[in-house]
Every structure is written in C-alpha cells, then in structure tokens.
C-alpha cells in the first residue's frame, strides 16, 4: 500500500521508528461487536494488556480515505459512539476510495497489518465455518480463514467464536495450511469455553517458543499466519453446556425470526443473542479474553523483537 494511503498515529509511528514492539488490533469489536459502554471498556482493556508488557497497541481502521494504524482521537470516538461500516479485506479499497469510516474485521485488520509490516495481531475470536443449523449454505464461511492463509502474522485469539462449527473451522485451517499453536493448552478453545474436545497439533508454553516457530516458518517461505489459541482466563470461561444451549437458542432466533440476519450481520446478531441467553455472562467473558489475548500478543511481539535482534535473518524482508 502506498504511504499516501496510510496514516499512523504519532505514538505508533514513533514506536515503528524506534523498533518498539507493536500489536495490531481490530476495530469491528468496537463498532459492531460489543454494545456501548462495553466497547469502550474493551478498547481500554486491550490497549492496557498490550502496554503492560512493553508493547504499543495499534487499532486498525479506515478513516478519511486512508488505512489507519493507531485509531485515536475524534475518529475513535465516532467508532465507539456512532459506529462505522464493517470492513473485511475485500472492503478496504472501497472504504478508502469513498473516504468512509471502516471498522476492520480480523481479515481487514490482517490486510492492514501486513501492509504496515506489523508481525503480531490480537483479537477475541476468529470467524470460521457457520453451522448448517443457521439455514445458510454449507459453504458459508468467514473471509478470516482465507486471509489467515496469506498473511504472515502471528494472530492471538481464543479460538473461533462459539456460534460457529468449530470442528469444520479447524479442518479448514488445516486445509489452508495455517499453523495452529495452543498456548499452554492441547485443545482448540471455543471462545467462551476452554474445552471443546478438539485437539491442536502443536503447543507452546512461552512467547519465545511461539516467536521462534513463527520466524522459522517465515524463513521457510511459509505465507500463512501462525494462529495462537489460548482459552479464556481461569474464572472467566463459561460452562460448555450453558454456551451450547445459548447458541442453539440464538441459531433458532436467527433462522425463524422476522428480521433474519444475512452476511456480515449474522455474527453480531448471534453474539447478542448468546449474551441475552447467558444473562450477560458471555459479555464478561468476552472482555476478559480480549484483555488476556492482547497481553499475550504483546509478550510475543516483545519476544519477536528480541529474536530478531539475535537473528536478523528472521526479520521481514523490506
């Protein structure tokens, strides 16, 4: 992307120039994923998590005809209070050309992070393959998966959102050649839940292990992301049976209600329905895992900086 099409906030630009670790963040969770005032709390927690380990947070978005690395100020306030168009990777060109505010999904944030040369990205949960129970075609799946296959970035999350077909999502990640590493877990988490019964093929117990695996893959010419999954923090994870009941209620509402969601509206609709069905417990879990994932991403960014200092050949070609 041309430098003329990118805007860096001063803090993030200074961190880039100084070689300070940076963690990219999405903005869809702020504009669509969480209701006010929880979205503002999510922003605070994610940024605090990244900063707590010595890295700098950079929320991605499109504003005023530019891809923004480090959403802040008046633009951030608009996203938190008014919202913005949901911008996946496919939407970035239109959003920039039309000068619209665009809140990045995982796919959109990955595209901007890649163009900005950022190696680490944190989110809550990735998108994936939707359940057939929604009444949509079986090929209905998130663009996040394809973007993960072509973005050389470490992505930290709590697995895929519980509303999805988790087994099919994990299989698709395998088909796309996306490495999935469980951080101190041998299972693929279920976003709201720690246990799904779905094993991951690799585990790591430290940020340094993850950094080294990522750099080794890059030196081998692997084009895809390394997806790091960790369960929600202890005490915040929900009972899988509670979540499954809530998801089924949400799916039924989406399939039979008078205002059935379509496309990009499906995920926010289902997550809101799950929040109602769990009496608000899922919202607290969401906030907790966003902070935890941001902190781990910060640790990995710091570890990557240390490894690149020792092994400059592992750095991204410029």
Name the residues annotated as catalytic. Answer: 26, 161
Cα dihedral 287, 292, 298, 300 sign:
negative
Strand partners, 182: 203, 229
| Conformation bin of residue 208: beta by default, left when phi > 0, alpha when psi is -120 to 50 | alpha
Q: How many CB atoms lie within 10 A of CB 17?
A: 9
Rounded to whole angstroms, the Cα distance separating 207 from 42 reads 23
Q: Which helix (H) or strand (E) holds 279?
A: none
- Secondary structure (3-state) at 248: helix
Q: Strand locations in the chain, DSSP E?
A: 6-8, 22-25, 56-63, 66-69, 85-87, 102-104, 120-122, 154-157, 179-183, 202-204, 226-229
């Amino acid at each position: 992307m041309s430098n003329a099409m990118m805007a860096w906030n001063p803090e993030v630009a200074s961190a880039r120039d100084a070689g300070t670790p940076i963690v990219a963040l999405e903005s869809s969770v702020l504009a669509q994923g969480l209701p006010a005032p929880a979205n503002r709390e999510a922003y605070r927690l994610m940024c605090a998590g990244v900063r707590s380990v010595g890295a700098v947070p950079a929320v991605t978005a499109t504003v005023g005809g530019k891809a923004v690395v480090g959403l802040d100020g008046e633009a951030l306030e608009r996203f938190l209070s008014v919202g913005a168009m949901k911008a996946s990777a496919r939407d970035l060109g239109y959003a920039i050309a039309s000068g619209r505010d665009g809140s990045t999904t995982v796919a959109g944030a990955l595209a901007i992070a890649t163009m900005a040369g950022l190696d680490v990205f944190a989110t809550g949960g990735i998108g994936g393959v939707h359940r057939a129970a929604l009444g949509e075609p079986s090929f209905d799946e998130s663009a996040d998966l394809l973007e993960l296959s072509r973005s050389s970035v470490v992505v930290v999350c709590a697995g895929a959102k519980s509303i999805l077909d988790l087994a099919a999502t994990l299989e698709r990640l395998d088909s796309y050649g996306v490495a999935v590493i469980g951080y101190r877990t041998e299972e693929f988490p279920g976003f709201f839940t720690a246990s799904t019964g779905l094993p991951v093929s690799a585990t790591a117990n430290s940020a340094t292990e993850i950094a080294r695996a990522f750099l080794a893959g890059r030196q081998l010419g692997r084009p895809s992301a390394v997806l790091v999954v960790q369960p929600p923090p202890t005490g915040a994870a929900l009972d899988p049976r509670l979540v499954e009941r809530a998801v089924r209620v949400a799916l039924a509402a989406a399939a039979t209600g008078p205002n059935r969601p379509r496309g990009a509206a499906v995920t926010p609709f289902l997550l809101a329905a799950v929040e109602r069905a769990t009496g608000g417990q899922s919202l607290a879990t969401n906030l907790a895992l966003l902070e935890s994932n941001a902190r781990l991403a910060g640790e990995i960014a710091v570890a990557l900086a240390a490894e690149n200092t020792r092994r400059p050949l592992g750095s991204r070609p410029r």
